[in-house]
A and B are shown apart, each in its own frame.
Chain A
């Protein structure tokens, strides 16, 4: 049954599917833990009998028993190399059961592995795995395909593409959702539907997951956006494990009572999943006999999505902002990172734009010196994993676009397709194959038309072509083409005419990239913002802009209110409230004090940025270096210690204050009288994380704090043998040796070091610390003290140094 035949058939018929196969096989002797596909081939009569019972109970269709028939699953039983053959034989068995009149659906199901970007299996590998299975099922004579129990939208996409690229048979996809209404990888029902129907599924729906009641909610959520029939295969209620067996709690008659509701919600294919049997199918058949399917009645609305979020657009909805910042042009740091294969800068821009209000992220990585295709794939993978916002794939290269569209786990927006014939010819089939929405650029080989009328002509031409690929008016968005007003003041009016025509006459969505309009003029922000307001007034639905531009975002929010796109102005009020909060945050008072007074606060607040300026100013005003130390800096750091002990300060504040103090001392040290310099040099400390242990952050912070408090520290690093610690302590005449260990298995090494030191008559005092160490353990191994954190370590070191007598420190 090819796609066209399926579509026609589904207009008139409700297809009754089968019920559970796995549990039926188990009832009839299949042991747990075996490969079901192989067991069925060894016991073919059992499957044929089950499927005949389903046929007799009223199933129009049975699924082939190939749920685990892909190479990855079969390989777990050493049968990977027999994939094609197994699938062919199993399809033939189902055909035998159903005879000539019944339908056999080739069943594809999860591989058990996760596909990139979520998992580690390359997308193309997954497509190939399914293609191999599809070939076997085609050899076995299946009538169409079902992709079922999918928990990851990307795996469903891989299977769907595998079928599409192998044959013209119809293909249905059913996903599995949890109780929160999400797939395992976080896709909601509407997003799954929009992605899969755009990619070419002939029916979409849900199986397994839950009982009929909850599944009805999932189907109802899909219904308003479905252009195709929906599919439902619920479980027989909820599963429970009783005496080692999974059982379900709903009886057939109760199960059957939900069927009319399913049909009224647009379900055209209905069956049962786990726990159901021919008895349940009999109930379904009795309920749906003589019923005709309810045809789809989708909202005509623009939608794009990521794997986890759908963004809708329309002139009655808030203006959608497409963040334009992921583009290396003019961004040195991003360019350098992309050349090095790094993506942190891109991720930062993604996060920042979403926080500032972008709903979609434009991704353009075109720049010299990189492989644009590989870079685009990498960025799309990363952003798909970390950001919920759908992506707008922006490239002049069809090859780059195809690579990105193929692996993008949602419905992307292409930026852009113009009226140039050569581009249309390449890009429209590409967009259609992957179900992408696109930005229609109304320009032709002759360039950008000056008048709105000429642009409108191009829009109509492109739409006529796009219709041949199944596109409707709400599947694309027209770029109004903003030209610069400094060279032609009528340019803005022409763009507005296009927007107005699209909104009021033609009936499609519009987008503009703002910045061009103000090119060559001073104070461009005013022009851009005003133009945005005017365009919104003409019905603009999307804008490509920098959402960090506060003025633009304020205009956008206000425009949404004035064009009735923000019911009760709630979004506007929320936006104002957030910004008001920001403006009204109390400021610190340090700027009103004199520089000398501010020194204390600078250390207290860890103000490293201003400490040098403040010191310079304070010294110019007559504060002596020694007074700065004794009257300002030392009291401040003492206060920091007190605040930390009281938990009013936390670790980063303690460190920042200590670092500020260190910066201040570096400036003051040369200015202090020789006699005063000794005030900071307290003692020599050798620090190490003991042998076998590789954790060193705590030890590093202790080293840093000790240095900031004037100790001379020799940090030997991590995984340091006892001999090396003793050697260094002896060589430097260390007053104190500090040992760190994080694990119970490595803390014992501390004792080895201390024992070794005592035998070597090393005079140093020992202090220990680390997550698993405590006071008691310190005493037990003969250490002189235990410090629970960096601040305590400083206090302990000061105390130990005092006991041994302060001494001048050596150089590190």
Chain B
């Protein structure tokens, strides 16, 4: 049996360092005066308030595998040599998604259109990292749950569009996780809307004694 769990408020706090990296800030190089530092701090704070990080995860039994494919209980087949290699020691596949939500995405466009692009790019960086932090938060939660079974998640995550896993698997993940429940959509070219959303695949393995 597989079930999908939704989280409306993920405790996802992105690392400040990663937000700054995204903005081209370099530790011990970039210099901000007081006003710029305040502008950045306020921008990050406001950006975080605009993000409502939601997430979903589901565990799916792997029934068959080959060097090129991974097959789920439901008969669904993922064709990807790299994915098959990553999941070689896993009996279960975990699918997860996280989104920073609509409000922040709309606000990024709004700020740029309103002549506040510097604030817009800060929100953009915050939202991107918040969505990523959402996946980290789900992973942490899942690891807590799995520890009771003597298991944990693989450290690596994989996403459609990476390596040899076609982007069209976004549709399959979208449907399995019923991402419309998070008010997400998929374009004809398999892009998730709102764009500050991420999908990932990982596996479950035992904790080595």
Chain A residues within 8 Å of B, Cβ to Cβ? 33, 76-77, 112-114, 116-120, 151, 178, 184-186, 208, 239-242, 244, 246-247, 274, 344, 347-348, 351, 385-386, 585-588, 605-606, 644, 646-656, 659, 691-695, 697, 700-701, 704, 719, 743-746, 789
Contacts and interface: CB of A to CB of B under 8 A. Distances in A.
Which A-B residue pairs are the 8 nearest by beta carbons? A241-B206, A385-B9, A692-B189, A241-B150, A239-B150, A652-B118, A650-B25, A647-B26
A240 B30 contact: no
Contact of B118 (A185, A241, A586, A656): A656
Contacts of B195: 694-695
B147 A119 contact: no
Contacts of A650: 20, 23-26, 30
Given A647-B24, A648-B30, 20 more contacts: A76-B1, A77-B1, A112-B5, A119-B5, A120-B6, A120-B8, A186-B11, A208-B148, A239-B150, A241-B151, A242-B150, A242-B206, A242-B209, A585-B34, A646-B29, A653-B32, A695-B191, A697-B120, A743-B167, A744-B161
Q: Chain B contact residues (Cβ within 8 angstroms of A): what range?
A: 35 or more
Contacts of A351: 45, 49
Contacts of A691: 189
A648 B31 contact: yes
B121 interface: yes
A27 to B, nearest CB: 16
Nearest to B40: A652
Given A119-B6, A119-B8, A241 B23 contact: no
A648 B39 CA distance: 17
Contacts of B45: 351
A648 B29 contact: yes
Contacts of A386: 9, 49
B7 A120 contact: yes
B30 A649 contact: yes
Contact of A241 (B144, B161, B207): B207
A745 B26 contact: no
Contacts of B188: 692
Contact of A606 (B36, B54, B108): B36
A585 B37 CA distance: 11
Residue among A650, A704, A743 with the most chain B CB within 10 A?
A650
B112 interface: yes
A117 B151 CA distance: 28
B49 A348 contact: yes
A103 B30 CA distance: 68
A587 B161 CA distance: 48
A195 to B, nearest CB: 18
Contacts of A644: 24
Contact of A701 (B8, B9, B117): B117
10 contacts: A77-B1, A120-B54, A184-B141, A274-B148, A694-B195, A695-B191, A697-B112, A700-B112, A701-B117, A745-B190
Contact of B9 (A77, A117, A652): A117
Contacts of A33: 1, 61
A10 to B, nearest CB: 29
B145 interface: yes
A246 B122 CA distance: 46
Contact of B49 (A77, A247, A347, A693): A347
A247 B49 CA distance: 43
Contacts of A76: 1, 3
Contacts of B207: 239-241
B150 A118 contact: no
B135 to A, nearest CB: 16
Nearest to A235: B148
A186 B141 CA distance: 10
Interface in B45-87: 45-46, 49-50, 54, 61
B43 A344 contact: no
Contacts of A647: 24, 26, 29-30
Contact of A114 (B6, B31, B117, B190): B6
A114 B191 contact: no
Contacts of B54: 120
B132 interface: no
Given A113-B6, A652-B23, A745-B167, A246 B150 contact: yes
B142 to A, nearest CB: 10
Contacts of B121: 651-652, 655, 697, 701
Contacts of B11: 185-186
A151 B5 CA distance: 14
Contacts of A692: 187-189, 191
B149 A239 contact: yes
Contact of A700 (B5, B117, B167, B193): B117
Contacts of B187: 692, 694, 719
Interface in B91-148: 91, 103, 108, 112, 115, 117-122, 124, 141, 144-145, 147-148
Contacts of A208: 148
A659 B118 contact: yes
Residue from B8, B34, B147 with most neighbouring chain A CB atoms (10 Å): B8
Contacts of B175: none
A782 to B, nearest CB: 23
B35 interface: yes
Interface-central residue, B26, B61, B181, by most chain A CB under 10 Å: B26
Nearest to B205: A241
A740 B103 CA distance: 24
B63 to A, nearest CB: 12
A692 B188 CA distance: 8
A118 B8 contact: yes
A626 B141 CA distance: 61
B33 interface: yes
Contacts of A606: 36, 118
A651 B40 CA distance: 11
Contacts of A695: 191, 195
Contacts of A694: 187, 191, 193, 195
Contacts of B23: 650-652
B209 A240 contact: yes
B194 to A, nearest CB: 9
Contact of A586 (B34, B43, B112, B209): B34
Contacts of A151: 144-145
Nearest to B25: A650
B144 A184 contact: yes
Contacts of A240: 150, 206-207, 209
A652 B122 contact: yes
A605 B31 CA distance: 11
A279 B206 CA distance: 27
B168 to A, nearest CB: 9
Nearest to A643: B31
A178 B144 contact: yes
B148 A659 contact: no
A405 B111 CA distance: 37
A647 B24 CA distance: 7
Nearest to B123: A697
Nearest to A590: B33
A246 B112 contact: no
A339 B104 CA distance: 20
Contact of B33 (A588, A646, A655, A745): A588
